[in-house]
Structure 1
C-alpha cells in the first residue's frame, strides 16, 4: 500500500514546515530528510515535496498575476517601491527598498557603491544593486532596481527614485561606479553636487583588455602598468602633469595605446587620479569591490538564474534581514564592550595614526589626505594636539555609533521573561535559516548557475596563457624530435 497516492499525504504540521523551510531557501531533498527525521514512516518522495511547494506558491498568489502579487506584497511589507511599463504594458523597471534597508540608508547616507549584476532572474533583466557603508566599514544593501536595459534614461529614473528614499536635499557625498557612461551621466543629472569616483581596478582591467596585445614581452607590460600606477597616484596636479609628459614620451611609439589612454581615460582623470580623488571624503572606497562582494553574497541566496522577480525579491529579503541583524548586533556589542562613541574600526584607524605620529618616518609635511578621505584626525594632527583625548567633533559622523539606534526591527519584540539560553538558541536557528543555501549542510550545486560570464580582460589573459602553453609545447616537441634524430644518426 505504500505506493498508493493516499499514503503520500502531508499533515498540516508537515505542510507548515515545508512552507517555512522552502521560504528559508532549503532544497526539497533536504526538506524531505528533515521531515523523515520527525516521521520515519513518511512514505513521500522528493517529487511530492516539489508538488507541495508549487501548490503553496500557487495558493499564495490567490489567482493574482505574479506582478500584482509582488506589488501588493511590497506594499504590505512597508517597502518603498515604484514601477514603470512601456506602451505595450511590459515592465521596464522596478525599484524597491526594504524598510530595514531604508533605515540603514538614511543612517549612513554619505558613500554608496553602485553596479549592475546579471544572471539573477529568468527575464535576464540587469539588477542595479546600490550598496552603502556602515560605521563598521561593512556593506549593506540600500535598494535594488530591475531594469530592461542599461540606458541613461533608466538610470536617471532609478536614481531619482533613490533620491526620494534619501530625502529632500540629502545627496550622497560620493558614489563609486565602474566606467558605465550612462550611469555616470545619470549621476551628474540627478546628483550634481555628488562626487562620482571611478573604480581603479576596473580601469586597469579595461586597459589590460585593450592594450596588452601591443606588448610582446611580459617585462614591457609590467613596466607599462608600473608607469601607469605612478601616473594615477600622482599626489597633486603638478606632479600629474609631469608624469603624463614622461608617459607620452616613453610610449610615443605605441600610438594605439597612447591614443586609447588619452581618449578613453584622461577626460575623466578627476574621477580616479589621486591628485583629485584624494580630496574627496570616500572613507577609503576607491573600487567597486563592495558591490562585487554584495553580488556574490546575493547569488548565494538565489542559487539559480531562473527565478521570477517575486522569488528574487523573497531571497533578497532574507539577505537584507540577516545583514541588518548583523549590523544591529555589532552596534549593540560595541556599545557594551567599548566605552566610546565611535566604532572599533575607526578606533583602529586612529590607533594606527597615533603610532605613526611618534614614528621617525613621519613626513614633515602634512598633505591632509587622510583627514579629507577618512574623516578622522591624521598622524600630524594627533602629534600637534599633544593631548590624550580627541574631541568628538574631530570624528566624522560616519564613524559615530552613539547617534544610532535602529528601531525598525521585527525581532526586537522578544519576550523579556524568556530564558536566556532558549533565546540564544532561537537567535542561532533564525540566523541559520537566513543563511545562503551554499553555507548550509547538505548543499548541492544548482544546475542553473548565477556565475557571471568572463570579462574581456579575463578572456585576453586566458588566450595569452593558452598561447604561451601551446608555444612551450611545440618547443618541447621540437627539442624532443631533434634529440631523437641525433640518437638515430649516432646509432
Structure 2
C-alpha cells in the first residue's frame, strides 16, 4: 500500500481502500481492493440542481463521479508471512483528469505515525497548530497535509474516546503522580463528580499571603462543559498567584461548600483570609458566610456596574447624558467614606433622578439595601482589602489560562497540562520579584527615612508608603523645614501604615 500510494502521488492520483480480507474466515486468500477516491456515486439527500445556499445551510459538494479505476492486491500464499503480493489491474482508466496537485485531498495528506507523534509532542508544548503545520512542511517538502488534518489530529490527543467522568479519574491519577494536593467526591452513579487540586507551591504562597482571596468561575474550558473554579491571591509585590483549581459538577450551594471546606482543610496551618471577593453568585455568597464567618465578604464593583448597565441603560436611551450622570452618581456614592456623606449623596441621587423611579428602586432594592456593607467604601474601609474592590485578578488569571487553551474542545488533562505550566512560570516570576525587591534599590527611596525599609519590604509596598509620606508632608506649613522630630513623626506614620502590609 505504501508503494502504491507513493507511485500514485507522483503521477497525480489519490487511491483509497474499498475493501479488504485478512484471510481469517475459512481458507480465503488475504486481499485488498484499491480504487480512485472519486470512485462510487454520491448517496446523500442532495438533489442535483437544488440550491443549497439557503439561510443556515452550508454549501456542500462531493468528489465522487463513479470513476472506474480499480486495483486488487492478493497475497500469493495465505500461511506464508514472507509471501509476496500480486497486484492486478481490474480497470486502469479514469473518467476525469488527473490532479495537478494533491492539496486538500484527505488521503494524500494523512500523517504518518512519526508525524502524528510529532504533532502530539508539539501540542503538549503549546505550539500553535499553524506553526506545527509549517514545521511538518519544512521537514517534508512533498507533504500536502492541510490545517484540517492537523486540527483533527490534535483533537484526538489525550484519550479522546474516554467519557468526561473517566477523564476526571485520569486527571485525578495524574495529580497523584505529580504530587498535587487533591480532593474529590463522588456519588452512587459517578466515581468522581467534583475535583479540586492545589499545587504545593501555591499552598506556601497562600500561607504567606492569606489576606485576600478572589473567587470566580469561568466556562468554555473543556468539551464536557463543566464549570472551572479558580481561587487566587496576591503577594506583597502585587503579583497574582493561583491558590486552587476545581471542576464543579454544578454551581450549587453544596458544591461551593465542599470546595471551601477542602480549602480550609488544606490551609489549616494559616489564618483565615481577611477578605474574600466574589461576584453576586447567591449560592457562593451563602457558603462564604457559613464557612468563613469572620472574613469580610466584598462584592465585585465591576460586576455590579455591568449588571446595572445591562438592566437599566435602555431607560436612558433618549438622554445619554443623563445616563452618564447616573453612572457617575452611583460610582461616587459607593466611594464615600462616611455615613453622613453616603446618606447625603443617596438623597441627592433620588432627587436628581426622580423621573427614573424604577432605576432608583432597582439600585436600592437589588444592591444598596441588601449588600451595601459588601459594596460601599464607608463599610468596606473597615477591613483590610488593599484596594481590592473587583475580581479583576481572577478574571486576568482566566484570560491568561484561556490564551494558552485556544479553544473549548480540549479534555481535562489538556487544561491541566497548561495550568501546570502556568503555575511553574508564575512561581518563578514571583521569586524573581522578591529578589528584585531585596537587591534593587530605586533612587527615589535612597533617603534617610527609608534606610531601615529598603530590602526588607517590597518595592510595591515602598511605593504605597511614599504616597502616605508625601501626604503627611503636605500637612506641614510650606515655609517650614522638616526637622528631625518631624521626620520621626512621618516615620511613625509610615510604620503604622506598613503594619498592614508586612
Q: What TM-score comes out, normalization by structure 2 length? A: 0.66
| Equivalent position SS for 1:358 | helix
Aligned to 1:345: 460
CA distance, structure 1, for counterparts of residue 390 and residue 191 of structure 2? 35
Shift in alpha-carbon separation, 1:314–1:42, aligned structure 2, 3 A: farther
| Equivalent position SS for 2:251 | coil
Q: 1:110-157 CA distances to partner (integer Å, 9 max, x unpaired)?
A: 101111111111111111111111111111111111112221221111
What is the CA distance between 1:325 and its match in structure 2?
Answer: 1.2
CA distance, structure 2, for counterparts of residue 393 and residue 310 of structure 1? 47
Aligned to 2:435: 332
Identify the match of residue 174 of structure 1 among 275, 288, 296: 275
CA distance, structure 2, for counterparts of residue 159 and residue 308 of structure 1? 25
Q: 1:397-420 CA distances to partner (integer Å, 9 max, x unpaired)?
A: 75x5xxxxxxxxxxxxxxxxxxxx
Shift in alpha-carbon separation, 1:180–1:56, aligned structure 2, 3 A: closer
Contact 1:109-1:166 within 8 A present in 2 as well: no
Aligned to 2:353: 251
Contact 1:24-1:318 within 8 A present in 2 as well: no
CA distance, structure 2, for counterparts of residue 225 and residue 50 of structure 1? 46
Contact 2:469-2:490 within 8 A present in 1 as well: no
| Equivalent position SS for 2:474 | coil
Shift in alpha-carbon separation, 1:325–1:17, aligned structure 2, 3 A: farther
What is the CA distance between 1:361 and its match in structure 2?
Answer: 9.4
Higher relative contact order (CA 8 A, sep 6+): 1
Q: 1:325-368 CA distances to partner (integer Å, 9 max, x unpaired)?
A: 11112222332324511111111111222223223699xxxxxx
Aligned to 2:77: none
Aligned to 2:426: 323
Contact 1:150-1:182 within 8 A present in 2 as well: yes
Shift in alpha-carbon separation, 1:54–1:42, aligned structure 2, 3 A: farther
Contact 1:84-1:94 within 8 A present in 2 as well: yes
Output aligned runs, 1:50-89, within 5 Å: 57-58=158-159, 65-89=166-190
Are 1:229 and 2:338 an aligned pair? no
Shift in alpha-carbon separation, 1:387–1:259, aligned structure 2, 3 A: closer
| Equivalent position SS for 2:193 | strand
CA distance, structure 2, for counterparts of residue 395 and residue 295 of structure 1? 31
Output aligned runs, 1:360-371, within 5 Å: none
Identify the match of residue 307 of structure 1 among 407, 410, 414: 410
Output aligned runs, 1:87-486, within 5 Å: 87-89=188-190, 91-168=192-269, 170-215=271-316, 216-266=318-368, 267-338=370-441, 339-359=454-474, 385-386=488-489, 395-396=498-499, 398=501, 400=502
Shift in alpha-carbon separation, 1:214–1:268, aligned structure 2, 3 A: same
Q: 1:383-435 CA distances to partner (integer Å, 9 max, x unpaired)?
A: 6743669887863475x5xxxxxxxxxxxxxxxxxxxxxxxxxxxxxxxxxxx
Contact 2:384-2:500 within 8 A present in 1 as well: no
| Equivalent position SS for 1:82 | strand
* Structure with greater helix percent: 1
CA distance, structure 2, for counterparts of residue 209 and residue 53 of structure 1? 39
- CA-based RMSD of the aligned residues comes to 3.4
Q: 1:438-480 CA distances to partner (integer Å, 9 max, x unpaired)?
A: xxxxxxxxxxxxxxxxxxxxxxxxxxxxxxxxxxxxxxxxxxx
CA distance, structure 1, for counterparts of residue 192 and residue 407 of structure 2? 22
Q: 1:76-134 CA distances to partner (integer Å, 9 max, x unpaired)?
A: 11111122234422743221112222222222111011111111111111111111111
What is the CA distance between 1:274 and its match in structure 2?
Answer: 0.9
| Equivalent position SS for 1:135 | coil
CA distance, structure 2, for counterparts of residue 384 and residue 330 of structure 1? 30
CA distance, structure 1, for counterparts of residue 170 and residue 344 of structure 2? 61
CA distance, structure 2, for counterparts of residue 22 and residue 67 of structure 1? 21
Q: 1:246-272 CA distances to partner (integer Å, 9 max, x unpaired)?
A: 333333443212221121112110111
CA distance, structure 1, for counterparts of residue 273 and residue 422 of structure 2? 24
What is the CA distance between 1:43 and its match in structure 2?
Answer: 6.0
Q: 1:2-22 CA distances to partner (integer Å, 9 max, x unpaired)?
A: 9549x97566xx888655432
* Structure with greater strand percent: 2
Stretch of structure 1 that moved more, 100-109 or 263-272: 100-109
What is the CA distance between 1:168 and its match in structure 2?
Answer: 4.9
Contact 1:357-1:383 within 8 A present in 2 as well: no
CA distance, structure 2, for counterparts of residue 24 and residue 355 of structure 1? 48
Aligned to 1:413: none
CA distance, structure 2, for counterparts of residue 391 and residue 246 of structure 1? 37
Aligned to 2:72: none
How many residues get paired? Answer: 374
Shift in alpha-carbon separation, 1:32–1:192, aligned structure 2, 3 A: same
What is the CA distance between 1:178 and its match in structure 2?
Answer: 1.2
| Equivalent position SS for 2:398 | helix
Shift in alpha-carbon separation, 1:8–1:225, aligned structure 2, 3 A: closer
Aligned to 1:463: none
CA distance, structure 2, for counterparts of residue 139 and residue 118 of structure 1? 20
